[in-house]
Amino acid sequence: MNFYTGITLVDITATGVIRFRNDNELKRNQQRNWETVLQCIGIKAQPLIIEGPYSSTFTIDETTHFPDIYFGEQKVWFFSFAVEHEDVFLVNDDPVAGLDEIFAQVPIICGLNETARFMLPIFYPYGAIKNIYFIKGRINLNTV
């Protein structure tokens, strides 16, 4: 198994709500963002052993992978998953560049429980408006 971890400022809370009703709009939209994550990963590989997403509040600063427009206290979501095929997301010498390519400019639903405010309602893994990134490997999400 090959493990990867995603970290995002987008609210991807897995609520399990799969039908819209006026009284559960927030939970349905959170679930929609999580479903989008799983569908994006599924473009290149079947995600297995999915852990999370979990959220926690962190201080974003120059030591983190997010740009300075998000510095300060932010809610961050973490998830890990495994795939069977080695290097399925490898592009050039970057083991997660394929994930970055897949997630670039994929629409999201904003205005949920995230604390970051996005310039555009999209996942974006690059540069000054980065709101998601990936690392190869598995982190212990229970300690986040």
Answer whether 122's CB lies under 8 Å from 9's CB.
Answer: no
pLDDT digits (tens, 9 = 90+) for 63-112: 889 999 999 999 999 999 999 999 999 999 999 999 999 999 999 999 99
E strands present in the chain: 2-8, 48-60, 72-83, 132-136
Please state, in angstroms and rounded to a whole number, the distance separating the CA atoms of residues 70 and 2: 30
Q: State the chain's maximal CA–CA distance in angstroms.
A: 47
Answer whether 17's CB lies under 8 Å from 31's CB.
Answer: yes
Q: Where are the domains of the chain?
A: 2-143
Q: Average pLDDT for residues 35-42, to the nearest whole number? A: 97
Rounded to the nearest angstrom, the gap between the alpha carbon of residue 93 and the centroid of all alpha carbons in its chain is: 22
Residue identified by tokens 């629409």 is 107
Three-state SS for 74?
strand
Q: For the chain, first and last CA: distance in Å? A: 22
pLDDT digits (tens, 9 = 90+) for 12-35: 999 999 888 888 999 999 999 999
